[in-house]
Amino acid sequence: MIRRLAALLAALATTPALASTTAPAPLPPPYTAAYQPQGVDEIGLWKEMDEDERVLASSPILIRDEALNAYVRGVLCATVGAARCKAARIYILRTPLFNASMAPNGTMRVFSGLLLRVRSEAELGAVLGHEFGHFEQRHSLAAFKARRSGTDILSWGAVLAGMLPYAQGAYNFQTMQISVYGRLARFSRDQERDADLHGIGYLNGSTLRPQSAAMAWRNVMTEAERAAAARGQAHPRFDRVPYLASHPCDAERAETMAALAIPDGVGRDDGAARYAAALAPWLPQFLDDQIKLNNFGASDYLIGMLGEHGATASLWVARGDLYRARGYPRDLVSAAEFYANAIALDATLPGAQRGLGLSLLKTGRRTEGIEALRRYLQLEPTAPDAAMIGMLIATAGPGQ
């Protein structure tokens, strides 16, 4: 039964007509600030989100760096305008995934994986504007009511199905389940399309380049292609919408966003230089988190994209860490070369000396490896792994 259900859902996957909307997204209307929840459903939803935010504020994965938080808020304000921006409270979470969200009470979550992947203020503004669109259109409340109606239908359906002979009742109820879940998924996709429309509308009304929104999704698709290729998997389909998908397909979103951008916005600044400068202090940490996802193709693509205008010492270290983590003999040889490139640019990077030493030891170049590890301890004598590295030097030293 499960196989037949999976086959049915796969058969119901659709290929949407891309970029059906060609007119630019309209500019946002005047904003009414200090909105308060209305009705028992919305008031209850806000209270639940208030409690969730209270827990979120003390989360151990919350990034509290004032400069980074102020910068991300500045991008949101530049996108949606100062009046709307006051309604949002931003929380940056150290989570290496491409995502952001906004709760109905104004709590916006921004994942570090999103900050790693977008390349400009305009790309970040497109995502943040999309989330603000969900908030302004009160999508969470509508989705809550839709889910409640769906579960009400299924509850009554289960009662009625129980009155029928078992086989007929079970068949009818399963058919009803597929229909209800499909309608909820389509409702969610339509909300995402509406949020995309509002997100580009904010960008059209800002000073940032709205065409950058499409670039963010094209980069997401390229990353997925590289990840699949590195794993030996089939080329992913970006133009098909699974029956239960909560979001439109990536190809549809990229082409729709390109169509929604006003043509005369193409000459605007995208803020790429400012974005690179603001993210520079956090880039090594974000890359380290990404590498630990064990997704070689995606990580290699991201490092390459970050270094398209010239690799820095930190990017060489990240690439060395990536290859050393995969750990094939040929990877270790490449990793040693990448660390050497980093040291040539900045010999004071402890991570480069550490990675070089460990790579050389694993490839049989013991003397050179030990020397690199000693330089690492000289540069960072209080490193958390200093005792372990010291023991490694002692056991791998001459005569052992």
Going residue by residue through the chain (400 aa), what tens digit of pLDDT does each one get?
555 555 555 555 665 555 555 688 887 877 776 677 888 888 998 999 999 999 999 999 999 999 999 999 999 999 999 999 999 999 999 999 999 999 999 999 999 999 999 999 999 999 999 999 999 999 999 999 999 999 999 999 999 988 888 888 888 899 999 999 999 999 999 999 999 999 999 999 999 999 999 999 999 999 999 999 999 999 999 988 889 999 999 999 999 999 999 999 999 999 999 999 999 999 999 999 999 999 999 999 999 999 988 899 999 999 999 999 999 999 999 999 999 999 999 999 999 999 999 999 999 999 999 999 999 999 999 999 999 999 999 987 654 4
- Pair of tokens at residue 101: 């969200």
- Select from 285, 270, 325, 276 the least CA-distant residue to 305: 276
Q: State if pTM tops 0.75.
A: yes
Instruction: Please check whether residue 82 is in contact with residue 74, taking contact to mean a CB–CB distance below 8 angstroms.
Output: no
Q: Which of left, alpha, beta for 364 (phi over 0: left; psi -120 to 50: alpha)?
A: left
Report the amino acid identity of residue 86.
Answer: K
Residue 241 DSSP symbol? B
Cα R_g (the chain), whole angstroms = 25
